Structure formats: C-alpha cells, structure tokens
Copies of this chain bind each other. A is one copy, B any other.
Amino acid sequence: MRTKILKKPTIKRLPTYLHILRQLSNEGEEYVSTTKLINELEFEPVLVRKDLATMDLPGKPRLGYKLQDLINAIEEYLGWNETSDAFLVGCGSLGVALMGYDPFKDYGLNIVAGFDNDSSKTGKSIHGKQVYNIAELPQMIKEQNIEVAVLTIPWQYAQDVANDLIKAGIKAIWNFTTVKLKVPEGVVTHNENLASGLALFSVKKKLRDNSDIED
C-alpha cells in the first residue's frame, strides 16, 4: 500500500500525539478518546480530530481509539516501528549534543557512532559511542549497511562529505548545516537549523510581539 502523504503540520504534530499515547499506554490505559487527547494538548480540537482521522482507524463510541492501534498506526506512518541505525558526522558541540540526546531512540533514530577528522577526538568515545576518523566512513557504511547520516560538520565541507556519504551507500541525510545539499534521486535530505529558530525567537523578542511572523 502506498503511504498516504499527509500535510506538513500534521506530520509535525504526530510525535506529540505519540508521546502522550505511549505515556497513557505505560499507565495501563487501553483506549483513548479524542476528547481526552484534546484535553492533554494545546492543539486546536478541530486539528486533533482531523489528524487522528487521517490514521483511518475505527473508533468505538464513548471509548475512542484502541490505544495500541493508534500508536502502531502513527509509528508505522513515521517509519518509527523500526529503528534506523545512523552515523553522525562532525563531533563538534552540536554533534556531541545530538549523540547524547537519548530520546532519538524513541523517534526511530539510533546514532551508533560518530566521525570526525580531528585526531584529538577520534579513538575516544562520546556518550558511550565510539568516534572514528572520517577516512573510515565509506568502508564502515558499506560493512554495517548504514543508510542514515546526521550531518553536523562545518558547512564548507557539507556538499563534499555528503557526496562521499551517498557514494558509500547513505540514502538519507539529516542535515544540520546551512547548506542546501544537492543529492541524486532516491536520496533524501532534511534540513534542521537551530540558528533559524533562534532568529525567529529573537525577532519576536525584539518586537515584543508574539503574533506569528508572516510566512
């Protein structure tokens, strides 16, 4: 079955639903009503109803959705029912931070090792994960069948390193550099930029105005 393509804001809300649903499940709940979720969240009720409806699950009157079914549906949609092993490239301050951010595992991403070209970092372990020399990347990608990379190197090297990663077999790059990477068909990239978020925060702060800045 072809995966339904949901809209961006819906996809961005899915981890929040999942987080709460998992919590309710841990507390021993079996069903969850839309009303309960709405009460637990700050999202608009109409959005929650719409988002949940996209999962195409039957709801029981009064009881709501079967909790585990809803969790499974969201995990499956996001591909988080399986965890992807990933290599992180660039063990600077951001890279180190991400290597130590445990909750990624709940989000389908398992960073298994780091890579850097700085010999003061290689051979050591960060947050229990080994750091290898970047020269070892291509061989290790092939040997371990790694398809996902997290890119946290200085932007000047981003495209070159991405080319090497893709040549070695990487199919998906979570890109924390500011470079918009050029990649061949079949390879995906997603850009994350904390500085951009901080810029939006700063402008709101300066304007002392919380209204959404125009898109």
Contact = CB atoms under 8 A, between A and B. Distances in A.
Interface string A172-197: 10100011111101111110111111
Contacts of A101: 93-94, 97, 194
Interface string A1-31: 0010111110111111001000000000000
A96 B178 CA distance: 23
A84 B42 CA distance: 28
Interface string A197-214: 111111111111110011
Interface string A62-80: 0000000000000001111
Interface stretch (A53-61, A104-112, A114-122, A131-139): A104-112
Interface residues of A, number: 73
Copies of this protein chain in the complex: 2
A48 interface: no
A215 interface: yes
Given A7-B213, A188-B209, A208-B186, A79 B194 contact: no
A79 B206 contact: yes
A168 interface: no
A164 interface: no
Given A187-B210, A205-B148, A12 B215 contact: no
A97 B102 CA distance: 11
Contacts of A78: 199, 202-203, 206
Interface in A77-98: 77-80, 84, 93-94, 96-98
23 contacts: A7-B215, A11-B213, A12-B196, A14-B199, A16-B193, A16-B196, A19-B155, A42-B180, A42-B182, A79-B203, A84-B205, A93-B100, A97-B100, A107-B198, A107-B202, A108-B202, A174-B201, A186-B208, A187-B210, A189-B204, A189-B210, A190-B204, A192-B201
